[in-house]
């Protein structure tokens, strides 16, 4: 694996450690990379997947069998931080109105 950046927040629909952030926003670019260290080409097949109102992408990599195997073990989770709600008061909303920007999740 060349470069991989996990999501800033924990997303429960991704198995721990198997997520990667890929994004382009203005001049900010976050990518993921890997190096093919074999003599064989690699076919990368990408899919857009829709489930209800959520969208996903999935990539599958294929090549010539070379004797390698991959084993994915259970993740090690440490330094978990307790989530807390933060309330910020503002005059930009009508009196008594509230607006949630983000929902806290332990992580």
Q: How confident is the model at residue 62 (pLDDT cuts 50, 70, 90)?
A: very high
For residue 88, is it within any domain? Answer: no
Q: How confident is the model at residue 3 (pLDDT cuts 50, 70, 90)?
A: low
For residue 94, is it within any domain? Answer: no
Range of the domain at 69: 1-76
Measured between alpha carbons, how far is 45 from 63 in angstroms, rounded to an integer? 11
State the pLDDT at residue 100. Answer: 87
Number of domains in the chain: 1
State the pLDDT at residue 44. Answer: 93
State the pLDDT at residue 27. Answer: 80
Asked if 16 contacts 8 with a C-beta cutoff of 8 angstroms, the reply is no
Q: Which residues pair with 46 in a beta bridge?
A: 59
For residue 8, is it within any domain? Answer: yes
Measured between alpha carbons, how far is 104 from 58 in angstroms, rounded to an integer? 27
């Amino acid at each position: 694996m060349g470069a991989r950046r996990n999501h800033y927040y924990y997303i429960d629909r991704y198995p721990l450690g198997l997520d990667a952030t890929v994004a382009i926003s203005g001049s900010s670019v976050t990518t993921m990379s890997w190096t093919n260290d074999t003599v064989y080409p690699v076919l990368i097949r990408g899919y857009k997947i829709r489930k209800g109102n959520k969208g996903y992408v999935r990539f599958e990599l294929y090549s010539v069998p070379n004797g390698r195997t991959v084993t994915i073990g259970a993740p090690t989770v440490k330094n978990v931080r307790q989530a807390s709600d933060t309330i910020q008061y503002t005059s930009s909303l009508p009196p008594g109105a509230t607006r949630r920007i983000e929902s806290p999740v332990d992580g």
